Each structure stands twice: as C-alpha cells, then as structure tokens.
Amino acid sequence: LAKTTQPISMDSYEGQEVNITCSHNNIATNDYITWYQQFPSQGPRFIIQGYKTKVTNEVASLFIPADRKSSTLSLPRVSLSDTAVYYCLVGLISGGYNKLIFGAGTRLAVHP
C-alpha cells in the first residue's frame, strides 16, 4: 500500500478556504484516494474519494493531478466546527476488499 505524507497541523480562520495537500508518490494504478475526518471522541467519517481529476460533493472538493502523486482536499469557507483531524488514505479497492492504512493525519484548527 502506498505511503502518504501530509502536514501534521494547519491553522485557519473562519470563512477561509483550506487546502490540505497529501503526497503519495508510490500510488498504484488501482489505488483510490480517500479522505476521512475525525472529531475528538468520535470515529473517522468519510469525506470524499477520487481516482483522478476533480471530485466535488456538498462538503469538499478533491483535486488530483494527472500523475496522481499528490492530492489536495479543499474545504470551502471553514467554520469552527471543521476543527478536526483529516486523514488522507490511498489503497486498493477491489470488490469486497477495502483496506485503509491511516497515517497520523493533519490537525486542522479553525480560529474565530
């Protein structure tokens, strides 16, 4: 499974756009890129997943360049409630087999 590297922590202010970049130089052809969010005392929660180019949902956007060696999670207009740990994961997804390898994640602190 490809190893991921992301910043340990980030700070932002309410209303700003936050971009968290993750590098995954050894991503394999069949690997997807997935981002999870975790609040204190809760389990991780799925945010977004993509394979290439751009994916957007009601919560975030995921930008993946053509070489797929990195990806960027974009959170538009963050609020205090977006303070959490964000995990970037890369892994093979095949049928019923879906293995996730979590790193330490990025601790995002949103300030008033």
Partner 1 sequence: EAGVAQSPRYKIIEKRQSVAFWCNPISGHATLYWYQQILGQGPKLLIQFQNNGVVDDSQLPKDRFSAERLKGVDSTLKIQPAKLEDSAVYLCASRSKGQRDHYEQYFGPGTRLTVT
Q: Where in 53-92 is the site for partner 1 (CB under 8 A)?
A: 87
64: DSSP letter: E
The reply on whether position 13 binds partner 1 by CB under 8 A is: no
Closer of 16 and 23 to partner 1 (Cβ): 23
Q: What are phi and psi of 81, to 5 degrees?
A: -70, -5
Q: What's 21's DSSP letter?
A: E
Residue 24 CB-density burial (10 A; 0-12 exposed, 13-18 middle, 19+ buried): buried
If DSSP codes are grouped into helix, strand and coil, which group holds residue 34? strand
- Longest distance between any two alpha carbons in the chain, whole Å: 44
Q: Of 16 and 49, which CB lies nearer to partner 1 in the complex structure?
A: 49
Complex with partner 1: residue 96 or 112, whichever CB lies closer = 96
The only residue of 41, 67, 81, 112 in contact with partner 1, by rule CB under 8 A:
41
Q: 78 or 105, CB closer to partner 1?
A: 105
Q: By the criterion CB under 8 A, which residues form the site for partner 1?
A: 32, 34, 41-46, 49, 87, 93, 95-105
